[in-house]
Each structure stands twice: as C-alpha cells, then as structure tokens.
C-alpha cells in the first residue's frame, strides 16, 4: 500500500477543475466512512464515474479509513449510530481491523451494522462537507497562484 501522506499529496498534482476534484474527494470521504472496508475504492470509483467527478480524488479519499484509523472511526461511528437510534448492545469491536472485520460485523447482527451505517452517514456528511470546502479553497488558491505566475 502506498504511503497515505504521499497518496494524499497526489491530490494536488491532479490536473482538473478544483470543483471537480473537491467534489470527488468529498464523495470519497463520505464513502470512506461506510462500513464496507475492501470495497470502498470500488464503490467510490463507481459513484465518481456515475456523477462525473474526479475518480482519482474520490479513490484517494476513501483511505481516510485505513488499518491505522479504521478501528477508531468505525468504533466511533458505531457508538454514534447506537446513540442516534437508541440501541443498547453489548457488542465490542475487534482488537484490529482485518479481512474478517466485515464478517464479524455481520455475525454481530443487523443492529450493529445499522448503527455503523447511521453513524457513518452522519460522520461521512460532516467529513465530506469539511473536505470539500477545504480542498476546493486550497486548490483554487493554488490555481490562481499558478495563473498569476504565468502572467
């Protein structure tokens, strides 16, 4: 797997309109919060193609949940989803995020998965909005700076 920092920095080398890149990244950030590890890139690529967003930005953004951050993010999303839905559950997250994570979640029952989805939707919307505005601002300023250097 590529270094996450280098992967993120590659966003600034994409040649596309800042709006399109930012929208792709925001959509990928949203999908990154969904409890579908291993499929996030494919889902992000499909939606980016469907909505004509920047595919690279969308696919890079899903790596906001990775082996380092995923367990924390999914645990938080589960907790948040439980609170929103008023669900009481004794389910505890596994010690590590691995290939068996999704089967562990499914075996835990629909309440656990639904809590993860609801929490993921809420955090996904927040992350997507923040990512969109910050990235669009940075890329727009970068484009203006490059344009003024050419003049």
| Sequence spans of domains, the chain | 16-150
Share of the chain above pLDDT 70, in %: 94
Contact 78, 116 (CB under 8 A): yes
Question: Residue 68 phi/psi, 5° resolution?
Answer: -85, -45
b (16+ CB within 10 A) / e for 31-66: bbbbbbbeebbebbbebbeeeebbbbbbbbbbbbbb
**Are residues 27 and 53 in contact, defined by beta-carbon separation less than 8 angstroms?**
yes
Which tops the pLDDT comparison, 28 or 150?
28
**Residue-wise pLDDT tens digits, 89-124:** 888 887 777 777 778 888 888 899 999 999 999 999
Q: Residue 42 CA to chain centroid, in angstroms? A: 12
pLDDT tens track for 55-93: 999 999 998 888 788 889 999 999 999 999 999 888 888
Largest CA distance in the chain: 63
User: Would you list the DSSP string of 91-102?
Assistant: ----SS--TTHH
Q: What six digits make up the tokens of 102?
A: 């999704």
- pLDDT score of 67: 77
């Amino acid at each position: 797997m590529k270094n996450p920092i280098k992967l993120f920095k590659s966003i600034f080398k994409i040649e596309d309109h800042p709006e399109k890149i930012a929208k792709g990244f925001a959509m990928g950030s949203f999908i990154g919060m969904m409890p579908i590890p291993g499929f996030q890139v494919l889902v992000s690529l499909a939606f980016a193609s469907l909505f004509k967003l920047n595919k690279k930005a969308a696919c890079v953004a899903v790596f906001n949940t990775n082996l380092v951050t995923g367990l924390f993010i999914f645990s938080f999303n589960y907790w948040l989803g439980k609170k929103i839905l008023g669900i009481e559950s004794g389910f505890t997250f596994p010690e590590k995020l691995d290939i068996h994570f999704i089967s562990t979640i499914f075996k835990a029952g629909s309440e656990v998965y639904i809590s993860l989805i609801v929490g993921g939707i809420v955090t996904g919307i927040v992350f997507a909005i923040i990512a969109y505005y910050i990235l669009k601002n940075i890329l727009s300023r970068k484009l203006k700076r490059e344009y003024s250097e050419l003049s």
